[in-house]
Amino acid sequence: MAMKKSQRSLKRWTKQKWRTPSGKKSSETGEVYAPAKTIKKLKSTKAGRAKLARANKAKRKATKAGKQHARHGLHKGKKR
């Protein structure tokens, strides 16, 4: 039996290596979690580093406000 689209998406998502830009825990640094590939790509350009910094700032602000999830825009427009 073939997997449903949502099951294939979840399988692909779990195969990705997710981490923070520094490699430390998000609870310690307040950084966003993203796939390692995405972080590497963002860190390679000045505009990418700025986008990552804005995302981390939004994450820290939301965390400080007591929210579990932050709308930082890093994953915006991705097909999921």
> Model pTM greater than 0.95?
no
Angle, CA of 76, 64 and 62, to the nearest 5°? 15
Render pLDDT for 19-52 as a digit per residue (tens, 0 to 9).
999 999 988 999 999 999 999 999 999 999 999 9
Q: Enumerate residues 6+ apart whose C-beta is below 8 A from 72.
A: 32, 54, 55, 56, 58, 59, 62
Alpha carbons 55 and 43: distance in angstroms, whole number: 13
Identify the H or E element spanning 34. Answer: strand 34-35
Q: Residue 25: what are its φ and ψ, rounded to 5°?
A: -65, 140
Domain positions in the chain: 28-65
When pLDDT is cut at 50, 70 and 90, the band that residue 9 belongs to is confident
